Amino acid sequence: MEQHKLKIGLFGIGLDTYWSQFEGLKERLEGYLQVVQEKLSGIHPHIVNAGLIDNADKAFAAGRQFKTEDVDLIFCL
């Protein structure tokens, strides 16, 4: 019997309305998310990164992804 492997879910949040108002904000937030993923990956290999969630549709998609991937713990930035 295979032992359960802990899976960590990760996502960042923002609001898509802001991207046109604040130049570079989206890219900066995506960069922060990438840094956190790299740091988490250094201590645990099973990271499910749902990306930057900036609207309701992406939020529901991330929820489905985390459910499908059967994550045990979720980090939000």
In tens, the pLDDT along 24-52 reads: 999 999 999 999 999 999 999 899 999 99
Average pLDDT, the chain: 94
| Average pLDDT over every residue of 48-61 | 98
In the chain, % helix, strand, coil (3-state, to 5) comes to 45, 20, 30
Residue 4 is predicted with a pLDDT of 64
pTM to 2 decimal places: 0.89
Gap between the Cα atoms of 23 and 5, Å rounded: 40
Using 50, 70 and 90 to split pLDDT, how confident is the model at 61? very high
Say if residue 11 is exposed, middle or buried (CB neighbours under 10 Å; 0-12, 13-18, 19+): buried
Alpha helices (H) in the chain, listed in sequence order = 25-43, 56-69
